[in-house]
Amino acid sequence: MGLRGFSLSVALFVLFSQLSFAQTSDWAIVKALSPGQKVKVMTTDGNSHVGAVQSVADDAIRIGKDQSIQKQDVRRVQLRSPGHHGRNALIGLGVGAVVGVASGAATGCSPNDKNSFCFVTKGEAIAILTPFFAGVGGGIGALLPSHGEWRDIYNSK
């Protein structure tokens, strides 16, 4: 098996292991939730309840402010994954750095240019504007709303 076959095998293994995890009917996964984790519980009557886990017992899950849902009434439990503020900050940092380099290169003048009146050379403008715009971009990226996705951790059969 070559590198391509090995890579395909690994990709399929990861895909199917995630799918099997998402479709589990093992209540032990729900019992492993920590208090405070945000979950969405869909019940057999079609209702949906969102809240922080208070506790999980063998026969029920308690979320929010003392809302207890019996295990036999639970159709699906979803866990909210964390947001992406760090990733967004890094993307903003990179975009800001590119904007800083481009604006520094466009605004500075050549040190050999005797006909222009300028205060900074291109290199100095790049050195000043790149970290400035990178910081602005990183700050904006970190402040962007970033909601995690819901992923299934329990499905009753």
* Per-residue pLDDT tens digits for 47-100: 999 999 999 999 999 998 888 999 999 999 999 887 788 889 999 999 999 999
Could you tell me where the DSSP H helices lie in the chain?
3-22, 27-31, 85-107, 122-143
The pTM score is: 0.53
Q: How far, in Å, are 83, 130, 149 from residue 34 at the CA level?
A: 18, 43, 18
